[in-house]
Amino acid sequence: MNPGKPIIGLGIVVILSGIVFYLQGQSVVGPESSFMYSNPEWITNGQWITITGIIILAGGIVLSKVNSLRPK
């Protein structure tokens, strides 16, 4: 079992969540009744969540590559 694959999946989910939060803060998606809709704080939160997801994704890719280089 490659331990990098679940981490890669987690990174993708976090990235997608950050993008949705960012777009809700920009008033692009989501219901107008949402507390995140048209809220500048959620623009910033979405950006940081997306960056965190990219870091998690990169860690999963590195872990996957290191694991594939090990002799079996």
Task: Give tens-digit pLDDT for 56-72.
Answer: 999 999 999 998 888 77
- pTM of structure: 0.90
Retrieve residue 17's tokens. Answer: 């969540």
Helix, coil or strand: residue 38: coil
Terminal CA-to-CA distance of the chain, rounded, Å? 12
SS3 content of the chain, % helix, strand, coil (to 5): 70, 0, 30
Answer whether residue 49 shows pLDDT above 90. Answer: yes
Q: Where does the pLDDT of residue 53 fall: very low under 50, low under 70, confident under 90, or very high at 90 and above? A: very high
Which pLDDT belongs to residue 1? 73
